[in-house]
Amino acid sequence: MSRKPLSAAIDRKVRDSFNRQSFMQTLGASIVELGEGWCALVLDRREDLLQQHGYLHAGVVSTLADNACGYAALSTMPEDATVLTTEFKINLMAPAAGERIRAEGAVIKSGRTLSVVTAEVSALNDGAWKTIAVFQGSMMCLRHTADDHTR
């Protein structure tokens, strides 16, 4: 995974886009690391995000991975572009049990229209991180398209 820093303009663009996602705010997710082709998000465990067994809901795990990958992809796109998920697959390998969940998204191949992405999702339990899911998908580069639905 690339750890190359972003230009100030791209960093701001990615963070501003993330902050416009009301669903990310509802979940309480935040960007903790961001670089060219790479993004890490975290989310603290909350009772209102759990499924019936007391694990973080798979929809929340998938959403976190999707967003980590989407913003990793956006960080490699032209300044006038936005990002849109076109498809993904997730393997849920262990229950999402833990006090914190982290999704690390990375671009495998960045193309002019589509980028192939991957993510690893981990849960923090008693000070140790355990992989709970892996994700692979494709992100579309939308040129000359605003990602602000209020405009």
Condensed to tens digits (0 to 9), the pLDDT of residues 98-144 reads: 999 999 999 999 999 999 999 999 999 999 999 999 999 999 999 98
Domain that holds residue 17: 8-143
92-107 b/e with 16+ CB inside 10 Å = b?
eeebbbbeebbbbbbb
Residue 151: which pLDDT band, with cuts at 50, 70 and 90?
low
3 within some domain: no
Predicted confidence at residue 1, as pLDDT, reads: 45
- Asked if residue 40 lies in contact with residue 105, where contact means CB atoms within 8 angstroms, the answer is yes
For residue 151, tell me if it sits in a domain: no
User: What is the edge-to-edge ordering of all strands in the sheet holding 114-125?
Assistant: 30-35, 38-44, 100-110, 114-125, 128-143, 81-92
Residue 145 confidence class, pLDDT cut points 50, 70, 90: confident
Is residue 150 in a domain? no
Quote the pLDDT of residue 89: 98
Split into its structural domains, the chain has a count of: 1
Residue 95 lies in a domain: yes
